[in-house]
Amino acid sequence: MITTTATMSPVSRTRRRQSTIHSALSPRMTSAAFASLHLSVLSCLADIEHSLSQLESPLHDFDLGQAICKSELKVDEVRAWARDGLEILKQIKAELRSHLPEFNIDSTSVETYVSSCLHDLSDSSSLKRVTSCLPELPRLPRPENYISTVSNHLKSLHSHLSASNTLSHMTFPSFPSTAKLSELIDMMITSDRLPAVLRARAMSRTEDALGKVAIEVARAIERSLHGGKLITYGDLPMEWRNNPFVTYGYRFIPLSRWHLIIASIFALHNETLNIHTHLIPFLLWTSSVIFTCFGSSIPSASAAVVDTPILAFTIFALFTLFSSVVWHTMAGCAHHRGMVICAKIDYVGIAWLISGTVGTVVYYGFQCNTQTRSIFLIICLINGLAGTVIPFWDWFNSSENKKWRITIFLSMTFSITLGPLVQLALLHSARDTFAFIRPVIPSLASYVAGLLFYATRFPECVLPVDSPRLAWLGGGSHALWHIFIVWAISLHRDALPVLKDGVLGATTGICPLLAE
């Protein structure tokens, strides 16, 4: 049966690319290339060394005397020239033997031998603890890093020999030509073979990493029975691991079985509560907005309820809830790119929720100063746009950068909040400003409480090691974070009709602009 590339799995394609690279430029062939270079350089240097040794030897005084007569050079000058050349040769040969291999060693056989001797050392964590206590050892020199060095040394030798080229060719026809040395240098610089070997090593490392991920994904899909069974945290590929305190209840469903991904919304797993704590409020508030905007038969009542800032904030909140539901649903997908994109869209929703929350305070706080209000609303818009771009940077979604994500979102919040509050205090007073924002303080407290759970991963971080750890429903720190977010949104929506009275309305009961 013939298997085409189109029908091959990603793992098969990866393994095929790896086998092609290793067969074309395998470690054995890489060693052979460096060993061949080693022999070529030594062969060239041996001829030069033999001739220089003859010039330096007293046994050749007669021939050297004839050379001096023809070239008008002194014996001491010629011998000094030969000794200097021999010193350069000696240095090159010493470095060459320590940096470039003289023979081939099959790396596969070495690895097999080492693994057969160390088969009992299966606990890699113990080895890591031991090595962490050892002093850091210097890195072993790699042959490819020495290529430019030996090339420079050969250039120096070439220049030294060329300085007395007349002597070597006119008087000693048997003296090897420096053209051979020059050709060897050009070969090292322009040869396709050595750069190909170096590129192949880098490509091989990249392919090995990609192949490792593909194998981990295939293994996780197999253990999950192609999405039909929950797996453990240790079964997940490294790119899917997020919370080490939740050790079981993970979905791993291939994207081709998308219907199982959708159906998992209503199944039991460690994301169940994370999904439904935002899905249920999303459905309820969406129904409320639709009924308010299109279901009321009384135009005056509809106009009284649907205020522009309230409607805008509700839309931003609904987008945040929906993007969260999509992300936690796709967290169980075996397609890495699709999962990551949904996670980034979730962060975008958080950014717009921040901008929408502050925007409502700005809108109602500066009702009597429309120009100032427009400036701060534009800043909120820019903040939302920045929050749309930043999550799509590659580093942003990494689990190790969680603290940086929190820092960025807090910075975004403070950057668009402090300015309007200070300006309100200058226009009115600190007391009036505090009275104005007092209705949103419970909402702010709810956001902060949820953030604490999100950042600390409490309570799962203190659960016993052998506990199921919220495997079937979730209910950990992230679900609590969701509950506090929903509560904060609800509290803020309830506070908006009070904020509508403006800063002066909070103390005197009426804003001059609204009274006109």
Q: Whole-angstrom Cα distance, residue 114 to residue 109? A: 9
The encoded tokens of residue 83 equal 């000794």
C-alpha 478/C-alpha 390 separation (Å) is: 22
* Residues 184 and 150: beta-carbon distance below 8 Å: no
Q: What phi and psi values does residue 301 have, to the nearest 5 degrees?
A: -65, -40
DSSP 8-state secondary structure symbol assigned to residue 269: S
Instruction: Name which of 7, 6, 15, 8 is nearest 211 in CA terms.
Output: 15
Cα-to-chain-centroid distance, residue 399 = 10
The alpha carbon dihedral of 292, 298, 301, 304 has a sign of positive
Instruction: In whole angstroms, give the CA distance from residue 66 to residue 217.
Output: 78
Q: How far apart are CA 490 and CA 281, in angstroms?
A: 10
In degrees and rounded to multiples of 5, residue 231 shows phi and psi of: -125, 175
Was 478 annotated as part of a binding site?
Answer: yes
Number of neighbouring beta carbons within 10 Å of residue 135:
4
Return the structure tokens found at 448: 């902060």
> Is residue 471 a contact partner of residue 247, using CB atoms and an 8 Å limit?
yes
For residue 252, which phi and psi values (nearest 5 degrees)?
-150, 85
Cβ–Cβ < 8 Å for 101, 144: no
278 labelled ligand-binding: no
- Residues in Cβ contact with 94 at an 8 Å cutoff, skipping those fewer than 6 apart: none
Strand intervals (E) in 285-355? none
Q: Which two tokens stand for residue 373?
A: 């209000």
Residue 153 assigned ligand-binding role: no
CB 92 within 8 A of CB 150: yes
CB 200 within 8 A of CB 30: yes
Residues making up the annotated binding site for Zn(2+) are 328, 478, 482
Residues making up the annotated binding site are 328, 478, 482
